Chains A and B, each alone.
Chain A
Amino acid sequence: MAELHIIGQIVGASGFPQSSLFCKWGVHTGGAWRLLSGLKEGQTQVDLPQTGDMAYWSHPIDLHYATKGLQGWPKLHLQVWHQDSFGRCQLYGYGFCHVPSSPGHHRMSCATWRPLGSWQEQLAQMFVGGGPQLRNPDLIYSGADRYRLHTEAMGTVELELGVIMRHFDKYGVES
Chain B
Amino acid sequence: MMHNVCSPVLQSKGESLQQQEASLEPASRLQGLRDRDTVTRFDREVSIYVKLTNLRLELRWKSFMYKLISIIHLPSYTLKIQVGKGLPNAEEAYNFFTFNFEPDPPDESERSSVKRQKQRKIADRDEGRGDEAEEQEEAEDLFVIDQSPQDFLEVKKAVYVGYQNLIQRENEQLFTPSFRTVPTSVKLPENMKPRYLEDEGLYVGERPHVSLTNENILENRILKMEEGKKWFGDDGRIMALPDPIKESSTRPPLFHMEEDVDPSLQTVYRKVRHTRCHSDPEGDYQLDVDVSGLIFSHHPLFSREHVLGARLAQLYDQYLTRQHNNLTGHLTDKVNPTRQLSVHGKIHGGQSLTQAMTTRQLRDSEQEKDRTLLKNIVKVWKELKALREFQKFSNTPYKLYLRRENVDRASDEREHEDEILAEVVEFEAESEEDYQKKLTEYNKQLEEWKLWRRKQVPTYLLAQEASESEGPIEEGPPKPEPPERPDFDSIEQQVREKASRIRRKPGEAILIPELSASGNITASELCPRPEIARRQDVARRSLFIKILYNDKEVSRTDSRSLNTDFRVHFGQIFNLKIVHCPQSINLQVFEEIGSSCSLLARVFVPVPEPSVVTGNVPVEEYEFSSNQRVMFDHEGVGSDVPLSFEADGSNKQTLLTSGKLSCCVSWGIGEDDVPLAPPVSQQPGGIHSGLDRLDAVTYIGASGLYDMKKIGEWATQSRLDPNDPKNASIMQLLKVASSGEVTAPEYFRLEHLQEEFNFVTDEELERSKRFRLLRLRNREVAEFRNYKCVPALEREVTDKVFQEYEKRLKEGEIIDTKEHLDSHRALVAKYLQKIRESVINRFLLAKHHYVLSDLVIEEEIPSIGILGLNLFKLAEPKRPLKPQRKERKKVTAQNLSDGDIKLLINIIRAFDIPIRRPQSNKPGQVQVRPFVEVSFQRTVLQTTTADGPNPCWNEELQLPFSAPNGDYSNASLQSVKDEVFINMFDEVNDKDRGKSIHTWVEKHWLGSVKIPFSTIYSQSRIDGTFKVNTPAVLLGYSKERSHGANGGYDIMRSLSEGTFITLFITMEPQLVPGETIREKVSHFDSQEDEHLLQASERFEREAAQGYPDRPCITTVIDLNGKTVFITRFIRPLNPPQEFLDAFPNNPQEATALVARFVSLIPSLPDRVSFSGACDLWSTCDQFLTLLAGDEEEHAVLLCNYFLSMDKKAWLIIGTAIPEGPTTYVLTYEQSRYLIWNPSSGQYYGQYDTFCPLQTIGCLVNADNVWFNVQEYTTPMRLSFDITKANLWKPFFSRSFSHPGLSSVQPEELVYRRTDKAAAAELQDRIEKILKEKVMEWRPRHPTRWNRYCTTTLKQFLPKLEMSRGQDVTEGHRHDLKRISGFPLHLPFCEIRPIIEAVYSTGVHSVQVSNVEFALAVYVHPYPNNVLSVWVYLASLVRT
**Once the chains bind, are B273 and A37 in contact (CB under 8 Å)?**
no
**Once the chains bind, are B691 and A37 in contact (CB under 8 Å)?**
no
| Residue from B681, B691, B697, B774 with most neighbouring chain A CB atoms (10 Å) | B691
B-chain residues with CB within 8 Å of residue A71 when the two chains form the complex: 751, 754, 757
**Once the chains bind, are A132 and B269 in contact (CB under 8 Å)?**
yes
**Once the chains bind, are A145 and B688 in contact (CB under 8 Å)?**
no
Q: Is B22 an interface residue (CB 8 A)?
A: no
B-chain residues with CB within 8 Å of residue A147 when the two chains form the complex: 251, 254
Query: Least Cβ distance of A153 to chain B in Å?
Result: 16
Inter-chain residue pair count (beta carbon < 8 A): 165
Query: Least Cβ distance of B509 to chain A in Å?
Result: 56
Known: A132-B270, A136-B680, A148-B265. A2 touches B686 (CB 8 A): no
Known: A31-B697, A69-B759, A147-B254. A138 touches B264 (CB 8 A): yes
Nearest residue (CB) in A for B275 is: A89
A-chain residues with CB within 8 Å of residue B762 when the two chains form the complex: 68
With beta carbons under 8 angstroms apart, the residue of B272, B681, B686 that contacts A88 is B272
Distance, CA A121 to CA B846, complexed state (A): 40
A-chain residues with CB within 8 Å of residue B268 when the two chains form the complex: 132-135
**Once the chains bind, are A135 and B266 in contact (CB under 8 Å)?**
yes
Q: Is B693 an interface residue (CB 8 A)?
A: yes
**Once the chains bind, are B263 and A135 in contact (CB under 8 Å)?**
yes
Distance, CA A30 to CA B760, complexed state (A): 15
User: What mask results when residues 661 to 694 of chain B are scored 1 for a CB within 8 Å of chain A, else 0?
Assistant: 0000000000000000001110000111011111
Among A52-60, A100-108, A122-130, the stretch in contact with B: A122-130
**Once the chains bind, are B777 and A37 in contact (CB under 8 Å)?**
yes
Known: A69-B759, A133-B267, A136-B264. A26 touches B687 (CB 8 A): yes
**Once the chains bind, are B754 and A31 in contact (CB under 8 Å)?**
yes
Q: Is B13 an interface residue (CB 8 A)?
A: no
Query: Least Cβ distance of B258 to chain A in Å?
Result: 7
Q: Is B761 an interface residue (CB 8 A)?
A: yes
Query: Least Cβ distance of B262 to chain A in Å?
Result: 6
**Once the chains bind, are B281 and A68 in contact (CB under 8 Å)?**
no
Query: Least Cβ distance of B275 to chain A in Å?
Result: 5
What are some 25 contacts across the A-B interface (CB < 8 A)? A1-B764, A31-B751, A34-B775, A41-B686, A41-B688, A67-B759, A77-B688, A86-B274, A88-B273, A121-B269, A124-B269, A132-B268, A132-B270, A133-B270, A133-B679, A134-B266, A134-B268, A135-B264, A135-B679, A135-B680, A136-B690, A138-B264, A140-B691, A149-B265, A170-B759
B-chain residues with CB within 8 Å of residue A135 when the two chains form the complex: 263-264, 266-268, 610-611, 679-680
| Residue from B273, B686, B688, B760 with most neighbouring chain A CB atoms (10 Å) | B688
Nearest residue (CB) in B for A136 is: B264
Distance, CA A71 to CA B272, complexed state (A): 38
Nearest residue (CB) in A for B266 is: A135
Give the bracket for the number of chain A residues in contact with chain B.
35 or more
User: What mask results when residues 823 to 847 of chain B are scored 1 for a CB within 8 Å of chain A, else 0?
Assistant: 0000000000000000000000000
Distance, CA A64 to CA B773, complexed state (A): 13
Which A residues fall within an 8 A CB radius of B? 1-2, 24, 26, 28, 30-32, 34-38, 41, 43, 64, 66-71, 77, 79, 83-84, 86-91, 115, 117-118, 121, 124, 128-142, 144-149, 170-171
Cβ < 8 Å to A, chain B residues 222-273? 251, 254, 258, 261-273
Nearest residue (CB) in A for B610 is: A135
A-chain residues with CB within 8 Å of residue B168 when the two chains form the complex: none
Known: A28-B691, A130-B269. 14 other contacts (CB 8 A): A2-B759, A26-B686, A36-B775, A37-B777, A69-B757, A79-B687, A84-B272, A117-B267, A130-B270, A132-B267, A134-B265, A135-B264, A140-B691, A142-B694
With beta carbons under 8 angstroms apart, the residue of A2, A69, A138, A170 that contacts B754 is A69
Query: Least Cβ distance of A74 to chain B in Å?
Result: 13
B-chain residues with CB within 8 Å of residue A77 when the two chains form the complex: 688, 691
Which B residues fall within an 8 A CB radius of A? 251, 254, 258, 261-275, 279, 281, 610-611, 679-681, 686-688, 690-695, 697-698, 751, 754, 757-762, 764-765, 768, 771, 774-775, 777-778
Query: Least Cβ distance of A43 to chain B in Å?
Result: 5
Query: Least Cβ distance of A4 to chain B in Å?
Result: 12
Which DSSP category, helix, strand, loop or mixed, fits chain A's interface?
A: mixed
**Once the chains bind, are B759 and A134 in contact (CB under 8 Å)?**
no
Known: A1-B765, A37-B778, A136-B690. A131 touches B269 (CB 8 A): yes
Query: Least Cβ distance of B1079 to chain A in Å?
Result: 22
Query: Least Cβ distance of A66 to chain B in Å?
Result: 5
Nearest residue (CB) in A for B856 is: A45
Distance, CA A63 to CA B759, complexed state (A): 21
Query: Least Cβ distance of B388 to chain A in Å?
Result: 57
With beta carbons under 8 angstroms apart, the residue of B695, B751, B757, B765 that contacts A66 is B765
Distance, CA A130 to CA B271, complexed state (A): 4
B-chain residues with CB within 8 Å of residue A136 when the two chains form the complex: 263-264, 266, 680, 690, 693
A-chain residues with CB within 8 Å of residue B764 when the two chains form the complex: 1, 68
Distance, CA A171 to CA B1108, complexed state (A): 64
| Residue from B267, B686, B775 with most neighbouring chain A CB atoms (10 Å) | B267
A-chain residues with CB within 8 Å of residue B610 when the two chains form the complex: 135
**Once the chains bind, are A171 and B759 in contact (CB under 8 Å)?**
yes
**Once the chains bind, are A32 and B758 in contact (CB under 8 Å)?**
yes
Distance, CA A52 to CA B687, complexed state (A): 30
With beta carbons under 8 angstroms apart, the residue of B274, B691, B759, B761 that contacts A141 is B691
Closest 10 CB pairs of A and B: A132-B267, A37-B778, A138-B691, A88-B272, A129-B272, A26-B688, A171-B759, A36-B774, A130-B271, A115-B267
**Once the chains bind, are B265 and A131 in contact (CB under 8 Å)?**
no
**Once the chains bind, are B760 and A137 in contact (CB under 8 Å)?**
no
**Once the chains bind, are A142 and B691 in contact (CB under 8 Å)?**
yes
Query: Least Cβ distance of A16 to chain B in Å?
Result: 15
Distance, CA A66 to CA B768, complexed state (A): 10
Distance, CA A81 to CA B941, complexed state (A): 61
With beta carbons under 8 angstroms apart, the residue of B611, B691, B695 that contacts A137 is B691
With beta carbons under 8 angstroms apart, the residue of B254, B272, B611, B688 that contacts A28 is B688
**Once the chains bind, are A68 and B759 in contact (CB under 8 Å)?**
yes
B-chain residues with CB within 8 Å of residue A84 when the two chains form the complex: 272
B-chain residues with CB within 8 Å of residue A142 when the two chains form the complex: 264, 691, 694
**Once the chains bind, are B765 and A90 in contact (CB under 8 Å)?**
no
Query: Least Cβ distance of B764 to chain A in Å?
Result: 7
Query: Least Cβ distance of A34 to chain B in Å?
Result: 7
Distance, CA A141 to CA B264, complexed state (A): 12
Distance, CA A109 to CA B396, complexed state (A): 75
Query: Least Cβ distance of B662 to chain A in Å?
Result: 29
**Once the chains bind, are A131 and B693 in contact (CB under 8 Å)?**
no
Query: Least Cβ distance of B611 to chain A in Å?
Result: 8
B-chain residues with CB within 8 Å of residue A128 when the two chains form the complex: 271-272
Distance, CA A26 to CA B272, complexed state (A): 22
A-chain residues with CB within 8 Å of residue B687 when the two chains form the complex: 24, 26, 41, 43, 79
Nearest residue (CB) in A for B792 is: A166
Nearest residue (CB) in B for A166 is: B792
| Residue from B269, B271, B757 with most neighbouring chain A CB atoms (10 Å) | B269
Distance, CA A41 to CA B686, complexed state (A): 8
Query: Least Cβ distance of B857 to chain A in Å?
Result: 15
**Once the chains bind, are A1 and B760 in contact (CB under 8 Å)?**
yes
Known: A24-B279, A31-B697, A66-B765. A37 touches B775 (CB 8 A): yes
Distance, CA A77 to CA B262, complexed state (A): 22
Nearest residue (CB) in B for A132 is: B267
Distance, CA A79 to CA B759, complexed state (A): 33
Query: Least Cβ distance of B666 to chain A in Å?
Result: 16
Query: Least Cβ distance of B516 to chain A in Å?
Result: 47
With beta carbons under 8 angstroms apart, the residue of B263, B275, B771, B774 that contacts A87 is B275
Query: Least Cβ distance of B184 to chain A in Å?
Result: 48
A-chain residues with CB within 8 Å of residue B774 when the two chains form the complex: 36-37, 64
Nearest residue (CB) in B for A145 is: B262
Nearest residue (CB) in A for B779 is: A37
Distance, CA A30 to CA B279, complexed state (A): 26
Query: Least Cβ distance of B691 to chain A in Å?
Result: 4
Nearest residue (CB) in B for A117 is: B269
A-chain residues with CB within 8 Å of residue B272 when the two chains form the complex: 84, 86, 88-90, 128-130
